[in-house]
Amino acid sequence: MQPGRAQRLEQVLLRDGASCLWCGRPFAGLVVPTTDHLVPQVKGGPSWLENEVAACRRCNGQRGHRSPSSWAAECAARGWPVDLAAVRRHLLSLDDAIRARGGQRRARHYVEQQLRRFG
C-alpha cells in the first residue's frame, strides 16, 4: 500500500533534504515544502515516491505541467542553482521503478524522453 500525501512528503524530505530541488531555497518560514511530480500526473505520472521530489510551493506552482528539462532551463535562466545531476538521478530511479512494477506506459515514454534531454 502506498503511503498518504503527508507521509510521502516526510519521506521525500528525508531522502532529498530540506531545500527545493529547483531553486535551492531551504524550507523554513514562508518557504513551504511540497512534493512535486517529476512526471506530472496529467502526463501519466504516478504518485510514487520515485516520481516525487521536494520542491517549494512557488516552484511547484510555477512549474505546473512543464517537463523537468523545460523547467530546469527556466530555473537556470532565472539564476537558480538547479542540481541537474539530482534531477537525472530521480529520473533514473523512477525509470527503474517503472521497469520493476510494470505498466505506466505514458510515464515510461516521458521518462525516457527526459533522460535523453538530461544526457
pLDDT in tens, 22-52: 999 999 999 999 999 999 999 999 999 999 9
Domain of 60: which CATH number?
1.10.30.50
| DSSP single-letter state for residue 15 | H
Measure the CA–CA gap between 28 and 22, rounded to whole angstroms. 16
Query: What digits encode the pLDDT tens for the residues 58-75?
Result: 999 999 999 999 999 999
Q: Write the CB contacts of 20 (distance below 8 Å, at least 6 apart in sequence).
A: 27, 31, 33, 54, 55, 56, 59
Measure the CA–CA gap between 4 and 70, rounded to whole angstroms. 29
Residue ranges making up the domain that contains 101:
5-118
Q: What is the number of structural domains in the chain?
A: 1
Task: Tell me the one-letter amino acid at 21.
Answer: L
Measure the CA–CA gap between 37 and 26, rounded to whole angstroms. 19
